């Protein structure tokens, strides 16, 4: 039995600093205002020390215990997660390829009583995240494998430059790398109307320092990020420890299930729910990925 089964949200989250149940009070409005401003300006905001220091060891230990269940697969990819042999012009940034070596523990292997699972499903946490993004409501994914996952980047591996398929991502670092493993991103490098291939190419070819930000993250920090329009990566991890981060995925609409191809790529398996839902996804823009 987990040590957090009987622990309340107030004991997990520093609610004096982040008053999830009193967001309409002055402190809550200030937290929301800062998050919305930073998300609007740079597409990213970090809530440092979101998880109380007293639970960080539990958080790290729980995630380290399930990390061996991650599906590992080193793939040759591009930033758009499309086929690397696609019929693209010679100078197209989609022709730049990378080795992606990060791995994921699927949702059905994350214990329901764990800290990250309790956070993911808690109504007050979901309401807080929705309000930070300026949304009326968020829904947990119906997908039995996605939604809540643990990302594992082993020593010597990286999560190379890419764009997200979804417009926003919520993540919680549970264990940092001894060296490397830095989150880097290029705020709003593209839009729904403009892929901006020239700037993307500059970043991939090592000429994008003017466009790139590096974000120091520490265990217990909560990160909210608009990854659909911001190119980003986790730099190569060095040392003896893998980098672990929990990823909380929500949707503005209910019933979301991942595609068969993407699910198999991430988890090495699909379930009947994925097969039944195939072909029902609706795209919100015409970007490559």
Kindly report, residue by residue over 71-98, the tens digit of the pLDDT: 998 888 899 988 877 788 989 999 999 9
**Which of residues 281 and 110 earns the better pLDDT score?**
110
Contact predicate 46/217, CB 8 Å? yes
Instruction: Quote the distance between the C-alpha of residue 38 and its chain's center.
Output: 17
Return the pLDDT at 281.
60
Distance CA 74, CA 80 (A): 17
| 279, pLDDT greater than 70 | yes
Q: Which of the two residues, 180 and 278, has the higher pLDDT score? A: 180
For residue 124, the model assigns a pLDDT of 95
Q: Using one digit for the tens of pLDDT, what is the confidence trace for 129-163?
A: 999 999 999 999 999 999 999 999 999 999 999 99
What are residue 36's phi and psi, to 5 degrees? -65, -40
Q: What is the pLDDT of residues 29-67, one digit of tens each?
A: 999 999 999 999 999 999 999 999 999 999 999 999 999
Whether the predicted pLDDT of 13 surpasses 90: yes
Whole-prediction pTM value? 0.90
Q: Which two tokens stand for residue 108?
A: 């059905």
The Cβ of residue 62 has, within 10 Å, a number of other Cβ atoms equal to 24
What pLDDT, on a 0 to 100 scale, did the predictor assign at position 5? 45
Q: What is the mean pLDDT of residues 255-262?
A: 87
Averaged pLDDT of the chain: 91
Question: For residue range 198-257, what is the model confidence (pLDDT) as tens digits?
Answer: 999 999 999 999 999 999 999 999 999 999 999 999 999 999 999 999 999 999 989 989
Looking at the DSSP assignment, which residues form a beta bridge with residue 98?
A: 77
What's the pLDDT band for 167 if we cut at 50, 70, 90? confident
Do residues 98 and 84 lie in contact, with contact meaning Cβ atoms separated by under 8 Å?
no
**106, 249, 187, 287 alpha-carbon torsion, rounded to 10°:** 90
Q: Residue written as tokens 């380290």?
A: 64
User: What three-state secondary structure class fits 214?
Assistant: strand
Q: Comparing C-alpha atoms, which of 143, 179, 159, 156 is closest to residue 251?
A: 143
- Cα end-to-end span (Å), the chain: 41
Q: Read off the pLDDT band of 282 (50, 70, 90).
A: low
pLDDT of residue 289: 64
- Assess whether pLDDT exceeds 50 at residue 111: yes
Q: What is the pLDDT of residue 3?
A: 45
From the CB of residue 49, how many other CB atoms can be counted at a distance below 10 Å? 16
Q: How far apart are CA 119 and CA 148, in angstroms?
A: 10
pLDDT at 1: 37
DSSP at 165: S
Average pLDDT over residues 172-190: 97
Helices assigned H by DSSP within the chain:
9-12, 26-42, 56-66, 115-121, 123-132, 197-204, 260-267, 272-277
pLDDT value of residue 87: 84
């Amino acid at each position: 039995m987990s040590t957090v089964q009987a622990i309340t949200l107030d004991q997990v989250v520093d609610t004096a600093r982040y008053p999830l149940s009193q967001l309409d009070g002055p402190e809550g409005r200030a937290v929301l205002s800062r998050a919305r401003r930073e998300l609007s300006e740079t597409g990213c905001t970090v809530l440092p020390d979101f998880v109380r220091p007293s639970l960080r060891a539990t958080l790290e230990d729980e995630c380290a215990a399930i990390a061996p269940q991650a599906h590992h697969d080193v793939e040759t990819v591009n930033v758009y997660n499309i086929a690397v042999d696609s019929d693209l012009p010679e100078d197209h940034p989609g022709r730049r390829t990378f080795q992606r070596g990060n791995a994921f523990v699927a949702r059905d292997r994350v214990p329901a009583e764990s800290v990250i699972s309790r956070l993911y499903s808690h109504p007050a946490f979901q309401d807080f995240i929705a309000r930070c993004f300026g949304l009326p409501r968020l829904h947990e994914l119906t997908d039995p494998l996605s939604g809540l996952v643990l990302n594992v980047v082993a020593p010597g591996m990286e999560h190379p430059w890419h764009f997200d398929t979804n417009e926003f991502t919520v993540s919680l670092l549970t264990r940092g790398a001894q060296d490397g493993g830095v989150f880097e991103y290029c705020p709003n490098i593209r839009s729904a109307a403009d892929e901006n291939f020239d700037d993307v190419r500059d970043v991939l070819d090592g000429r994008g320092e003017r466009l790139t930000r590096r974000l120091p993250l520490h265990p217990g920090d909560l990160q909210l990020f608009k990854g659909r329009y911001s190119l980003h990566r986790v730099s190569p991890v060095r040392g003896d420890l893998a980098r672990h981060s929990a990823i909380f995925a929500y949707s503005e609409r209910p019933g979301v299930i991942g595609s068969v191809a993407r699910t198999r790529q991430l988890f090495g398996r699909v379930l009947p729910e994925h097969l039944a839902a195939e072909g029902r996804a609706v795209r919100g823009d015409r970007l490559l990925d």
